[in-house]
Structure 1
């Protein structure tokens, strides 16, 4: 199976459990791996034959901007459900990296995997 990667997507979101985290948007980084069949797109060179990753990027940005999650796990779940709305996406991995979430670590990250129901 072929893959599309969206790496290092910076979004700003209200995210966190503590009152100070809920007062302003924070930057998080999202990586998405989409499992799909790219054979036809490789032959045709047509956007219609692939997953439009520019559209997915815009939708993830809009999702983050309009959201107010407490947990990065919940944001990752929402992103995973969003990408599975595309029929061509069979499986996906979503990784969310939140800088400054832990006192002595550069960042904290979660990675969730999603699969289309058969």
Structure 2
């Protein structure tokens, strides 16, 4: 793979609105709360761009369904942990070389729209 373009191509999954148990306070442990997830999948799209075949690309519908399944049954304390787990499942796709994950928790702090954590992970982070 050409090093210049290895990480230049990106697939964005934007504003995935889900609900899960998240937080450290007792009241946050009983009711699901809103989270907004944004994911950038770094991949090489050149072959898919030439063949027009999903088999040569990242199936972002499958990635979205995997994130949905993970998040909706999760009960993490911290959005940092939720972001980390999302990154791991994204990197399970061998075509994804790097991932940027942002998890927003709307209304987490008074007077703010949301609090967010953004992480960047590569295959090397997980020994893949």
TM-score by structure 2 length?
0.90
The number of aligned residues is 118
Q: Do residues 14 (structure 1) and 18 (structure 2) align? A: no
Q: 2:119 aligns with which of 100, 112, 115?
A: 112
Q: Do residues 85 (structure 1) and 92 (structure 2) align? A: yes
Partner of 1:4: 11
- Whole-Å separation in 1 of the counterparts to 2:65 and 2:18: 10
Cα RMSD (Å) of the superposition? 0.9
Alignment of 1:1-118 (within 5 A): 1-117=8-124
SS of structure 1 residue aligned to 2:16: strand
SS of structure 1 residue aligned to 2:92: coil
Write out the 4+ residue segments of structure 1 that deviate beyond 6 Å after TM superposition: none
SS of structure 1 residue aligned to 2:83: helix
Query: Can you give the 5+ residue segments of structure 2 that lack an aligned partner in the other structure?
Result: 1-7
- Whole-Å separation in 1 of the counterparts to 2:16 and 2:48: 23
SS of structure 1 residue aligned to 2:21: strand
Query: Can you give the 5+ residue segments of structure 1 that lack an aligned partner in the other structure?
Result: none
